[in-house]
Structure 1
Amino acid sequence: MSTKKPIFSEKAPAAVGPYSQAIESDGFVFASGMLPIDPATGNMREGTIADRAHQALTNLKAVAESAGCTLEDAVKTTVFLTDVNDGKEVNAVYAEYFSEPFPARSAFQVAALPLGADIEIEVIFRKKN
C-alpha cells in the first residue's frame, strides 16, 4: 500500500491553489510546478527570464531539501514557457542547477501560466535509500 506524505518548505512560496508543494510516495518526490515567486516577498521575480528561471529553480531546490533530496536526485523535469524562444536563456540557467547525467526533460510553450508567470518548472525526484 502506497503512502502520500506532503512536503512543505518555508523557503519556497506556498501553493497558490489546493495542492501541495510536493508529495512523497513510494521513494519518489513529485514537486508541483514552481513559479518564479520570491518567497520573502510573495511577488513574482522581476528582471529577465534567466532571473525568473533562477528563482523557480531555487524554489524547487528548497522543496527538494525539505524532502531530504538534492537536485542531483532529479529524474524528470518539465519546463513550461509562455515563449519557447526563451529556451536558450533558460537552458543556460538550467545547466547551473543540474549536472550530467541530466534528468529527463520535457519543455512546452503554453498559452498562459498562473499569476501571469512566463515560466514554471516541475520536478520528480528519486530518494536515495
Structure 2
Amino acid sequence: MTNKAIISTDKAPAAIGTYSQAVKVNNTVYLSGQIPLIPETMEMVGNDFRAQATQVFKNLSAVCEAANGSLAQIVKLNLYLTDLSHFPVVNEVMAEFFEAPYPARAAVGVKELPKAAMFEAEAIMVI
C-alpha cells in the first residue's frame, strides 16, 4: 500500500495554482517548482538574478524541512532559467546551499515563468 502525504509549510510560498508544495510517497518527496516569492508577503524578492536564485533555494529548503528532510537529501533537481547567461550564477548560489556529492540536475532555458520570475527550481528528495 502506498503511503501518500501532502507536505505544506507557511515558511515557503503558498501555492499560486492547483498544486501542493510537495507530495510524499513512501520515502520519496516530490517538490513542486519554487519561484522567488517571499513567503510572508507573496511578493517577488526583486529583479536581481542572484537574489532570486537565493530565495528559490531558501523556499526549497523550507519545503524539504517540512517533509523532515533537507536539501542534502535531494537526488534530482530541475532548474528553469529565462536567460541561460545566468547559469554561472546558479552554480555559485547552489554552492552556498549544497555540498558534494551534488544531486543529478538539469538546467533548461525557458521563455517565461510565473509572475515574471527569472528562475524556478523543482526537486525530488529521498528521505
Q: TM-score, normalised by structure 1?
A: 0.95
1:81-126, Cα deviation, whole Å (9 max, x unpaired): 0001111111100111111000000000001111111100011110
How far apart are the structure 1 equivalents of 2:76 and 2:95? 14
1:87-102 superposed matches below 5 A: 87-102=87-102
**Match for residue 106 of structure 1?**
106
* CA RMSD of superposed structures (Å): 0.8
How far apart are the structure 1 equivalents of 2:47 and 2:99? 25
2:14 matched to 1:10?
A: no
Deviation at 1:47, TM superposition (A): 4.2
Aligned residues: 127
Identity %: 41
Structure 2 unmatched ranges of 5 or more: none
**Match for residue 116 of structure 2?**
116
**Match for residue 53 of structure 2?**
53
2:76 matched to 1:72?
A: no
1:6-33, Cα deviation, whole Å (9 max, x unpaired): 0001100001101000000021011000
Q: Name the stretch that deviates more: 1-10 or 50-59.
A: 1-10
Structure 1 unmatched ranges of 5 or more: none
**Match for residue 28 of structure 1?**
28
Q: TM-score, normalised by structure 2?
A: 0.97
Q: Would you identify which runs of 4 or more consecutive aligned residues in structure 1 move more than 2 Å? A: none
How far apart are the structure 2 equivalents of 1:2 and 1:112? 36
2:96 matched to 1:126?
A: no
